[in-house]
Amino acid sequence: MNFNLPALRQQFPFFTAHPDWIYLDNAATLHKPQVVLDAMHQFYSQQNSNVHRSAHGLSQQATAAFEAARSTVAQFLNARCSHEIIWTSGTTAGFNQLVYGLMGPVLQSGDRVLISSMEHHANIVPWHIHALPFGVELDVVPLTADYRFDLAAFTELLKLKPKVVSISHVSNALGHIQPIAQIVRLAKAAGAIVVLDGAQGIVWEKVDVQALDVDFYLFSGHKLYGPTGIGVLYGKTEYLALLRPLLGGGEMIKTVSFLRSSWNDLPYRLEAGTPNMAGAIGLGAAILWLRQQDLVAIQQHKQGLVQRFYEGCKQIPALELLSGQTTNAGIVALNLKNEHPADLATLLDQQKIAVRAGTHCAMPLFQAINSKGSVRFSFACYNSFDEIDRTLAALTTAVELLTE
Amino acid sequence: MIRPDIFTETATALKNIYETQLPELRQLKDWQSKYRILMTLGKALPAFDSEWHRDEFLVQGCESKAWLLHYQDPVTTQHFWAFDSDARIVKGLIILLLVQLNGLTSEELAHAKPELLLNELQLQQNISQSRSNGLLAVLNKIKAVI
Ligand SMILES: Cc1ncc(COP(=O)(O)O)c(C=O)c1O
């Protein structure tokens, strides 16, 4: 096994700057290895020019670097070609383009869309804005008793013939890994277009969009060791071709007259305005970095962290664990009985443990389980067992303060 | 209906906290002891009817909720509040703001900087960074009565 935690951690300059903090808010955003920062710095200091626009050699160099990053993403996902990779500013932006783009060409009044109870607001609110006002109906797959995706209920709901099924790969609030292979297979058999929200899933396991046969897959760069402000909307060519552009202007056009415009080919048709060039190049660098790591070893390490933390939590009285220990991508959500999650998180913050409290942009999930929210501990490859032990000690102190 | 004596009862409780627990808090150095006190401050407040947990009184923070009732004495023009929060630490922090503000006139309120006390006690370094616990929203709503 090729996993050397100190050497890996050393590559993240953030930890040198904050040696006294324990960062367990990784589901919110990940830290960046030095190679990502270097790639962006190199772009701005040596390659910066607007892409695709100018005939000069500098612009061509910038364009080549930018398009190379697209190819890196395409290979990483095993897309059929690089024009299936659309740059967005993040998962949220990608969903807004996707939902807007489906309205009309794919979705019409009376059509149904199926999501799950665990979705992030990014896979809920765009439907509210762009689809429901035009008569589309939203159905929701319920949770099982242990807060998992209910495949039996899903199978039933597919009988309503949804045109689109849009589900998260990994739940950001609970960490549960959804049965995506079965979800895609069943939904496709029912004739639906299948969308996966990969914001939390992409960093957990290798995604092969062709083997999965998923139609759209979205993720954010900053949750994959890359920069903020860049994300990816992957789509099969035949479905991307259907999407109406949400944003207009820049390189997304073919011709423009005062009264009408015709649109460029993919991927540019869905990338209006000057793109986030440095962001794309940073994300490309993050993916190349990740491909050099032993992904299986990282997965095992994260599972080990979850297990150590989970077992420790079970020893602390009055803690209620919302997440399950298995089929978990590295997130443990919990509450202290009768106490507000914000109080627990504040007492951890006092001890320099960075966690998130609240409803984690998944308010409907917490309504469904009748809870005010949770404190969420999310782990990444660079966290250590020592950090878990110190966190458990801090958690014990916080719980004692709250229950004495 | 809001019973008017909730404001006088809250005022008495706040006055007691100002005289007893606040000096104690100023003495303490370690964070555990400070938070221990902060988290129990809310217990001294009069019971807040769950019927007042209404949207019109709600100050929505990111993580926790607070409900704020306001009354202005028509004769003295003093402002009085009663409130509740579903999180204990935020409730304690709001108390530390209100022990300084309850009973002030509009003019006095306009000049008050109650957040300085939280810095001094090292409970909240910078209130403008407290968007996530809703304390800033509460302070803005308190000051909005002017
Ligand atoms: C499952 C899931 N979907 C969507 C998003 C939105 O990502 P972003 O804020 O980068 O657009 C997140 C991020 O929190 C997430 O965890």
CA of B58 vs chain A CAs: smallest distance (Å): 16
User: Any idea what the CATH number is for the domain that residue B75 is in?
Assistant: 3.90.1010.10
Q: Which residue of B has its CA nearest to A375?
A: B63
The predicted model scores a pTM of 0.95
B44 conformational bin, left if phi > 0, alpha if psi -120 to 50, beta if neither: alpha
Q: Please provide the CATH number assigned to the domain covering A5-24+294-399.
A: 3.90.1150.10
User: Which pLDDT score is estimated for B131?
Assistant: 58
Q: Specify whether the CB–CB gap between A55 and A242 falls below 8 A.
A: no
User: Other CB atoms closer than 10 Å to residue B53's CB: what's the count?
Assistant: 13
CA-wise closest residue to A175 among A5, A307, A22, A341: A307
What's the pLDDT score for residue B134? 79
Complete edge-to-edge strand list for the sheet that includes strand B65-72: B58-60, B65-72, B79-85
pLDDT in tens, A26-85: 999 999 999 999 999 999 999 999 998 788 999 999 999 999 999 999 999 999 999 999
Residue B115's Cβ-count burial label (10 Å; 0-12, 13-18, 19+) is: buried
pLDDT at A270 over 80: yes
Please report, as a single letter, which amino acid is at residue B97: L
Q: Who's near A161: CB < 8 A, 6+ residues apart?
A: A112, A190, A191, A192
> pLDDT digit string (tens) for A353-371?
999 998 889 999 999 998 9
Cα–Cα dist A62/A275, whole Å? 12
Which segments within A257-342 are labelled E, that is strand?
261-263, 319-321, 331-336
Task: Say if CB B138 and CB B87 are below 8 A apart.
Answer: no
Ligand 1: nearest atom to the Cα of A170: 1
- Domain boundaries, position B88: 5-143
Measure A313 CA to nearest chain B CA, in Å.
Answer: 21
The answer on pLDDT for B125 being more than 90 is: no
DSSP designation for A56: S
pLDDT at residue number B7: 96
Quote the crossing angle between the two packed helices B88-101 and A341-349, to the nearest 10°. 80
Relative orientation angle of helices A385-403 and A295-314, to the nearest 10 degrees: 30
Contact A47, A61 (CB under 8 A): yes
- Picking from A342, A358, A397, the nearest residue to B89 by CB comes out as A342
Element containing residue A255 per DSSP (H, E) = strand A253-256
Question: How high is the pLDDT of residue B132?
Answer: 62
Q: Flag whether pLDDT at A12 surpasses 90.
A: yes
Instruction: Report the alpha-carbon distance of residue A356 to residue A259 in Å, rounded.
Output: 49
The one-letter amino acid code at A186 reads L
Most A CBs within 10 Å: which of B59, B63, B84, as the mutation test of the A interface? B63
What pLDDT score was predicted for residue A251? 83
**DSSP notation for A8-24:** HHHT-HHHHH-TT-EE-
- Kindly state the average pLDDT of the residues B49-71: 87
Cross-chain Cβ contact A350/B62 below 8 Å? no
Predicted confidence at residue B133, as pLDDT, reads 67
Token pair 């389980």 is found at: A369
A362 touches chain B (CB under 8 A): no
Contacting residues for B146 by C-beta, under 8 A, at least 6 apart: B106, B109, B110
DSSP per position, A72-137: HHHHHHT-SSGGGEEEESSHHHHHHHHHHHHBTTTB-TT-EEEEETT--GGGTHHHHHHTGGGT-E
Tell me which residues have their CB closer than 6 angstroms to ligand 1: A 90-92, 120, 122, 168, 172, 197, 199-200, 220, 361
High-pLDDT (> 70) share of chain A, %: 100
The span from the CA of A13 to the CA of A5, in Å, is 14
Q: B113: exposed, middle or buried (C-beta count within 10 Å: 0-12, 13-18, 19+)?
A: exposed
What are the Cα distances from residue A400, in Å, to A278, A309, A339, B28? 47, 18, 12, 19
- Residue A24 structure tokens: 């367990």
- pLDDT value, residue B2: 78
Higher pLDDT, residue A305 or B65? A305
Nearest CA to ligand 1 atom 2: A199
Over 80: is that where the pLDDT of B124 sits?
no
Q: How confident is the model at residue B128 (pLDDT cuts 50, 70, 90)?
A: low
Give the nearest chain A residue to B32 (CA atoms).
A401
Fold of domain A37-291: Aspartate Aminotransferase; domain 2 (3.40.640)
| Closest CA relative to residue A304, chosen from A389, A375, A223, A224 | A389
Q: Residue A61: what pLDDT?
A: 93
What residues does each domain of chain A span? 5-24+294-399, 37-291
Q: Is A270:A235 a contact under the CB 8 Å cutoff?
A: no
pLDDT tens string A233-247: 999 999 999 999 999
Measured from the Cα of A168, ligand 1's closest atom is: 1
Per-residue pLDDT at B49 exceeds 60? yes
Size of interface A-B (CB pairs under 8 A): 39
Q: What is the pLDDT of residue B61?
A: 66
- Chain A, residues 296-335, CB within 8 A of chain B, namely none
What is the pLDDT, as a whole number, of residue B31? 94
Mean local confidence (pLDDT), A129-144: 98
- Please state the length of chain A: 404
Encode pLDDT of A203-217 as tens digits. 999 999 999 999 999
The pLDDT, as a whole number, for residue B11 is 96
Query: What are the structure tokens assigned to B142, written together?
Result: 């308190």
Point out which residues pair with A220 in neighbouring strands.
Answer: A231
**Measured distance CA(A129)–CA(B12) in Å, rounded:** 49
d(CA B14, CA A230): 50
Q: pLDDT band at residue A21, thresholds of 50, 70 and 90?
A: very high
Contact residues, chain A, for B89 at CB < 8 Å:
342-343, 346-347
pLDDT band at B62 (very low <50, low <70, confident <90, very high): low
> How many helices (DSSP H) and strands (DSSP E) are in chain A?
15, 15
At B146 the pLDDT is: 84
- From the CA of A171, give the closest atom in ligand 1: 1
Vertex A174 angle, CA A170 and A175, to 5°: 40
Euclidean distance between CA atoms B81 and A17, whole angstroms? 43
State whether residue B9 is helix, strand or coil.
helix
Q: How many angstroms is it from A161 CA to the middle of ligand 1?
A: 27
pLDDT for the residue numbered B130: 58
Average pLDDT over chain A, rounded to an integer: 96
